[in-house]
Chains A and B, each alone.
Chain A
Amino acid sequence: MATARPVVSIYNFENPSEKTGTMPMPVVLQSPLRPDLVREVHRDMAKNKRQAYAVKPKAGYDTAAESWCTGRAVARIPRAPGGGTHRAGQAAFGNQARGGGMFNPTTIWRRWHRRVNVTKKRHAVACALAASALPPLVMARGHKINQVAELPLVVSDGIQSLTKTKQAKEALKKLGCGEELQKVIDSKSIRAGQGKARNRRYVKRLGPLVIYNEDNGITRAMRNIPGVECAHVDRLNLLRLAPGGSFGRFVIFTEGAFKKLSDIYGTLKSGAPKKKGYTLPRAAMANADLARIINSTEVQSVLRPKMERYTHGIKRNALKSKELMEELNPGSTERRAVHLKSSQKGTPEYDEVQKKKKARIEESKKYNKEHKKGDETFYKTLMKAFEAKAAADAAKKAAEKAEDEEDEE
């Protein structure tokens, strides 16, 4: 990680307020954080310590039961043979039968273990180590590290020679692990579930993991402190570094162990000297600070500016809304006002309209007087249409009358 601290202080185990030196941060502790990888590898590795369980192979089938077949007014399930006992004639074999076998009996040849690629396992350990160097992750895992001077916590090699548990406890307390150790003690409780009856009665939280290089008594000293675990730096176990699949274990390194990390894992360029063919994992992104990338001038300079969205709002009806009509049809309000005026008495527009009307009527009257005279009047022209019919009717009547007179004669 580009933002990692370059140098780590080493604390004197007897007097942790004084620092005996500094050491460069090993590249392992700057590995990219991959919780998904750690979770996956832990899941598979954790399966490897399982012991097989299964029902007895013959469970439920240790009878000479046979079905009575049809015709005997009983269900066709196999029944125990014989007589003289309750058991005779009772159902057997089926999972539904009392005393019968289970459905799909569990077997010992279930695939209990999982193999994990070596590189994957190594990457997971590197990742878990890196996480243990970050206070927020360690705190998130639940460790109480408020009094701890710095992470990664590196202690002088003297701690490896401690033989007494009392001394070890004091040393840890002086290093600021008191709260952590107390947390472990307080957390001891009876396990929920059947495990309590299976020699796993108590559960408690995990405390610090002390990673050492040379065991001159440290394991024996730390062994009985509740929560504290020890591990040799050559043999780091993911199941201890990321218990439950969550990385960020509180780890205390000894000086020798911390130095050895660089010897074991090396750098990205050199590869790992002690792990043949292995190089530490590389990050997918060199710079994972997305905010900074997006807001950088290189990116912003080629983006077009952000635009407001088009909003059309609710459709309004211009025929009802005068202001919308004015918006869509500029000048409509004033034209409408002028038009309305022409029907209001007293306005010049009204007078104008009335004048025109009067003139029109005058004109019409004049025309009629001139042109529609005598036979051209409306009445006469109308009656002319009936003349023909009247004449025809009269002719018909006359004809009938003439006929009648003829007949009479």
Chain B
Amino acid sequence: MAERYAISKVNVPEGAAVPELVKMKMEKEEKLAEEKKQALAAKQKAREEERAKLKERTVAYEKEYADTAAELVKLRREAKLNGNFFVEPEAKLIFVVRIAGIMKMSPKPRKVLQLLRLKQLHNGVFLKVNKPTLNMLKLVQPYVTYGYPSLKTVRELIYKRGFGKVSKQRIPLSSNDIISDALGKHGIHGMEDIIHEIYTVGPNFKQVSNFLWPFKLSSPKGGFVNKRHGYCEARGGDWGNREELINELLGRMN
């Protein structure tokens, strides 16, 4: 807190008599300036430590991502070799984008969309995959499109369009301090921590996802196919679960 003291410089012309109140103010400001300097030095030191730790963690995360990917490849190969079928792991993470506008929305889907924090067209949120969330998505199927984002998509979304909820305000994630202040108690101190928590759906996924303000995406460059119909329909459409192919869409919307 002391590092944010606003120190005002009092300009006294040379040789002029300094009024009593001005003198008092100058003394006070001097003391605060001293405190501020110390606090800033301490903060700088803490920041360097924190950054070093974050660096280590990031390297560990990259290794983790690479390892999990390599593991899957290995298992697939092994299954093929033995003539077995490899059951792909079910997706843990979903990214939902609201496709429909706000006009003429039935009450139940309207409420569900509110609960999912999809209050605006082209808003997106990360969701954990479990029975309740899947059932909620079932209720709003025709109004959203969703799928399983890749690591690249997650990274790009958070770096480009990542905003945090800080005292109910939408604050850009322009510094790791903002993240540390809000999520420090869950052990999340930087952007890479957020990305890791989201992508691997960690124990603090809820807190992190809630901290992230719903993503406000652009309309896709190249357009939708047809928002009136479902993605899986033969006649071509957009709503519903498009699994991995959400990444292509998000690449155009981000």
Interface positions of A (Cβ within 8 A of B)? 291-292, 295, 297, 300, 305-308, 312-313, 315-319, 324-325, 327-332, 335
Q: Are the CB atoms of B159 and A295 closer together than 8 Å? A: no
B115 CB–A CB distance under 8 Å: no
B21 CB–A CB distance under 8 Å: yes
Q: Are the CB atoms of B5 and A305 closer together than 8 Å? A: yes
Q: Are the CB atoms of A308 and B28 closer together than 8 Å? A: no
Which chain B residues lie closer than 8 Å to A291 at the CB level? 21
Taking CB atoms and an 8 Å cut-off, the chain B residues in 40-86 that contact chain A are 51-52, 54-55, 58-59
Q: Are the CB atoms of A318 and B159 closer together than 8 Å? A: yes
Which chain B residues lie closer than 8 Å to A295 at the CB level? 21, 24-25
The main secondary structure of chain B at its interface with chain A is helix
Question: Interface digits, B13-47 against A, CB 8 Å rule (1 contact, 0 not)?
Answer: 00000000100110010001000000000000000
**Closest 5 CB pairs between A and B?**
A315-B172, A331-B55, A330-B51, A306-B6, A318-B159
Looking across the interface, which residue of chain A has its beta carbon closest to that of B195? A329
Provide a sorted-by-A list of 23 A–B residue pairs whose CB atoms are within 8 angstroms: A291-B21, A295-B21, A305-B6, A306-B5, A306-B8, A307-B1, A307-B5, A308-B4, A308-B6, A312-B174, A317-B160, A318-B159, A318-B191, A319-B160, A327-B175, A328-B176, A329-B54, A329-B192, A330-B51, A330-B190, A331-B59, A332-B58, A335-B59
Beyond A295-B21, A305-B5, A312-B172, 5 additional contacts (C-beta under 8 Å) are: A305-B6, A306-B6, A307-B1, A307-B5, A308-B6
Which chain B residues lie closer than 8 Å to A319 at the CB level? 156, 159-160
Q: Are the CB atoms of A297 and B59 closer together than 8 Å? A: no
What separation, in Å, do the CA atoms of A307 and B190 have in the docked complex?
Answer: 25
Which chain A residues lie closer than 8 Å to B8 at the CB level? 306
Q: Which of B5, B191, B192 contacts A308 (CB 8 A)?
A: B5
Which chain B residues lie closer than 8 Å to A335 at the CB level? 59
Interface size on B, residues (CB 8 A): 30
Which chain A residues lie closer than 8 Å to B173 at the CB level? 328
Q: Are the CB atoms of B5 and A331 closer together than 8 Å? A: no
Q: Which of A292, A306, A315, A329 contacts B174 (CB 8 A)?
A: A315
Q: Are the CB atoms of A300 and B6 closer together than 8 Å? A: no
B136 CB–A CB distance under 8 Å: no
What separation, in Å, do the CA atoms of A123 and B25 have in the docked complex?
Answer: 39
Question: Interface digits, B186-209 against A, CB 8 Å rule (1 contact, 0 not)?
Answer: 000011100000000000000000
What separation, in Å, do the CA atoms of A324 and B174 have in the docked complex?
Answer: 8
Q: Are the CB atoms of A300 and B159 closer together than 8 Å? A: no
Q: Are the CB atoms of A307 and B191 closer together than 8 Å? A: no
Question: Interface digits, B167-192 against A, CB 8 Å rule (1 contact, 0 not)?
Answer: 00001111110000000000000111
Looking across the interface, which residue of chain B has its beta carbon closest to that of A292? B21
Q: How far is the CB of B196 from chain A (nearest CB, A)?
A: 12
Which chain A residues lie closer than 8 Å to B51 at the CB level? 330
Q: Which of B4, B24, B190 contacts A297 (CB 8 A)?
A: B24
Taking CB atoms and an 8 Å cut-off, the chain B residues in 143-181 that contact chain A are 156, 159-160, 163, 171-176
Q: How far is the CB of B96 from chain A (nearest CB, A)?
A: 22
Q: Are the CB atoms of B190 and A329 closer together than 8 Å? A: yes
Which chain B residues lie closer than 8 Å to A297 at the CB level? 24
What separation, in Å, do the CA atoms of A295 and B27 have in the docked complex?
Answer: 12
Q: Are the CB atoms of B58 and A312 closer together than 8 Å? A: no
Q: Are the CB atoms of B55 and A328 closer together than 8 Å? A: no
Q: How far is the CB of B122 from chain A (nearest CB, A)?
A: 18
Q: Are the CB atoms of B171 and A312 closer together than 8 Å? A: yes
Taking CB atoms and an 8 Å cut-off, the chain B residues in 181-240 that contact chain A are 190-192
